[in-house]
């Protein structure tokens, strides 16, 4: 019975990795579309977001079957409940990548090259999502903590990007709408970072039984 359960847990981890990879792909694609002003690339993000939605439902179903059909011990229960929480955050990451892609289509080919901090934010959020999922699979508390530490870096990039965009509006009011669109994009990247932190916190819970809110 235990070997069957371990086999199902291994499949759960595999699906979590796949869902995390889709999130990374969606973020990376939006970042590239933004840096190149590539509207056709931005249009490819929505199908990936749909894949993430499907993956969320598949993983949710697997988790519920593990809970109902097997006899998980305490640590197993924590791992499964953490996975259920994590996929909600990953699904939202997909949604927010899609939101960024929609804004890119409104930029009419303009890029975010006036503010390099936006690209820096994108790179860091991809790193955070990757590490948070890796931490879950390897049950690595220290790796999860490193994700939480990266949140300050993303927040600092957000502040720098916001200040740069305010300068753009002040110096060229006709670019106000463009700058506000970029500000929305930076806010979405910041939120993606927050979701990665949530994932990391659930990883810590799955290993230690202690969540930050406690």
pLDDT digits (tens, 9 = 90+) for 121-142: 988 999 999 999 899 889 999 9
Q: How far is CA 96 from the centre of its chain?
A: 8
Q: Which of 181, 27, 46 is nearest to 104 (CA)?
A: 181
Domains and their CATH numbers in the chain: 2-208 (1.20.58.220)
How does pLDDT run across 143-152, given as a tens digit for each residue?
A: 999 999 999 9
The reported pLDDT for the residue numbered 57 is 96
Contacts 24+ apart (CB under 8 A), 21-25: 22/48, 22/51, 22/52, 22/55, 22/94, 23/52, 23/90, 23/93, 23/94, 23/97, 23/129, 23/133, 24/126, 24/129, 24/130
CB neighbour list of residue 214: distance below 8 Å, 6 or more residues apart: none
- Residue given tokens 């056709």 in the structure block: 40
The reported pLDDT for the residue numbered 114 is 66
Q: What are phi and psi of 100, to 5 degrees?
A: -60, -45
The reported pLDDT for the residue numbered 1 is 56
Q: How many CA atoms lie within 13 A of 188 on its CB side?
A: 25
The reported pLDDT for the residue numbered 211 is 80
The reported pLDDT for the residue numbered 91 is 96
SS3 content of the chain, % helix, strand, coil (to 5): 85, 0, 15
Read off the pTM.
0.91
The reported pLDDT for the residue numbered 6 is 81
Q: Which string of DSSP letters, residue by residue, matches 102-166? A: HHHHHTTT--STT-HHHHHHHHHHHHHHHHHHHHHHHT-HHHHHHHHHHHHHHHHHHHHHHHHHH
* Spans of the chain, pLDDT less than 70: 1-2, 70, 114-116, 213-214
């Amino acid at each position: 019975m235990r070997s069957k359960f371990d086999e199902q847990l291994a499949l759960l981890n595999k699906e979590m990795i796949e869902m995390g990879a889709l999130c990374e792909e969606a973020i990376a694609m939006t970042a590239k579309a933004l840096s190149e002003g590539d509207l056709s690339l931005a249009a490819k993000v929505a199908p990936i977001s749909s894949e993430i939605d499907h993956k969320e439902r598949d993983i949710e179903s697997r988790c519920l079957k593990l809970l109902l059909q097997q006899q998980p011990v305490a640590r197993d229960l924590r791992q499964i409940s953490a996975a259920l929480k994590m996929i909600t955050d990953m699904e939202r990451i997909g949604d927010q990548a899609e939101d960024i892609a929609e804004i890119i289509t409104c930029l009419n080919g303009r890029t975010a090259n006036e503010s390099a901090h936006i690209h820096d934010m994108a790179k860091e959020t991809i790193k955070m999502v990757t590490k948070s999922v890796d931490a879950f699979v390897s049950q690595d508390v220290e790796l999860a903590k490193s994700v939480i530490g990266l949140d300050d870096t993303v927040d600092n990039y957000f502040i720098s990007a916001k200040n740069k965009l305010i300068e753009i509006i002040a110096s060229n009011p006709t670019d106000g709408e463009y700058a506000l669109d970029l500000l929305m994009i930076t806010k979405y990247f910041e939120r993606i970072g927050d979701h990665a932190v949530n994932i990391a916190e659930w990883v810590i819970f799955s290993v230690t039984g202690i969540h930050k809110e406690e």
